[in-house]
Amino acid sequence: MNHNLKEIYTYAMEWTKEAGENIRASFPKTLNVTSKSNPNDLVTDIDKGTEQYFIEKIKGKYPDHRIMGEEGYGDEVTGLSGVVWIIDPIDGTMNFVHQQRNFAISVGIYVDGEGMIGLIYDVVHDELYHCIKGNGVLLNDKPIPELKESRVSEAVIALNALWVAPNKRIDHQMFIPLVQDVRGTRSYGSAAMEMVYVATGRIDAYLSPRLAPWDIAAGIILIKELGGEATDLRGNELDLLKENSLFVSKPGLHSEILKHYLKDGKW
């Protein structure tokens, strides 16, 4: 199994970089943009083509592996037994469409429900963040140091401004004390990139009331591998078969925020 996992890791990196190359090659072309659940929920032919590319590669080499992909070309995954690839072909599609940057390919590989391989590829910068469980996280070939403890008063956190304005999903007042007490807030518009920023220590935490499994599957593997914490906003374990709230953070800071800022939250 171990040997096979290394092979899967090698292919996953190769295919992710190739998919990224194809995305970079698409930049001069006119995008075909449509919307999904609402007018701001965008998808392009590149999102779809990239997911199909992964499915062809994975099914060609590993016909028994299952694939959960955002665009729905994979399998109907209702359980996590065996090897399951959880793929977001472009995380941050709005950034992809508007900016041609600040988006990523996200690939999490789970074996019997356990996160074993995580890859997030910042396509524009050709930066692949990757790990196989137990071997640390690398940025291309360079190891990323373990995360150090942090505190609210010195923390820079990522949070979408949507959640501190009245909205349908959560009581927007919940985040106000935290936003006031941290050193700064940021919003990057790609959950995968925001998790990479937590993994690399560029920010200290990232919070979101609603994300899909493919937004978080790879990032939580990278963050946990570096000693960070990844739970929902109540501090509970994440369930990759449904949508979750998300709270990823450096150690120490996670329990401080849970205890003092999230304990009465209406999530």
Question: Which residues are annotated binding-site positions for Mg(2+)?
Answer: 70, 88, 90-91, 215
Structure tokens at 153: 């008063």
Residues in contact with ligand 2AM, shown as a per-residue x/- string from 68 to 87 under the rule CB under 6 A: --x-----------------
Is residue 44 a contact residue for ligand 2AM (CB under 6 A)?
no
Going from the C-alpha of 262 to that of each of 11, 23, 65, the distances in angstroms are: 40, 39, 38
Among 20, 69, 74, 189, contact with ligand 2AM (rule: CB under 6 A)? 189
Is residue 239 a contact residue for ligand 2AM (CB under 6 A)?
no
Among 17, 181, 212, 265, contact with ligand 2AM (rule: CB under 6 A)? 212
Is residue 70 a contact residue for Ca ion (CB under 5 A)?
yes
State which residue, 150 or 245, has the beta carbon closest to ligand 2AM. Answer: 245
Structure tokens at 240: 């990759």
DSSP 164: G
Angle at 36 between CA 31 and CA 41, to 5 degrees: 75
Is residue 88 a contact residue for Ca ion (CB under 5 A)?
yes
Distance, in Å, from the CA atom of 195 to the CA atom of 249, rounded to the nearest integer, reads 9
Is residue 245 a contact residue for ligand 2AM (CB under 6 A)?
no
Type and span of the H or E element at 249: strand 244-249
Residue 200, amino acid: T
Among 93, 102, 185, 249, contact with ligand 2AM (rule: CB under 6 A)? 93
Q: How many Cα atoms occupy the beta-carbon half-sphere of 29 within 13 Å? A: 11
Structure tokens at 41: 């929920």
Stretch that binds ligand 2AM, among 22-30, 107-115, 210-218, 234-242 (CB under 6 A): 210-218
In the complex, what is the shortest distance from the CB of residue 92 to Ca ion, in angstroms, rounded to a whole number? 7
Exposed (0-12), middle (13-18) or buried (19+): which is 133, by Cβ within 10 Å?
Answer: middle
Residue 86, amino acid: I
Binding-site size for ligand 2AM (CB under 6 A) equals: 15
In the complex, what is the shortest distance from the CB of residue 174 to Ca ion, in angstroms, rounded to a whole number? 26
- DSSP 3-state of 35: strand
Residues near Ca ion (CB under 5 A): 70, 88, 90
Residues near ligand 2AM (CB under 6 A): 37, 41, 70, 88, 91-93, 160, 189-191, 210-212, 215
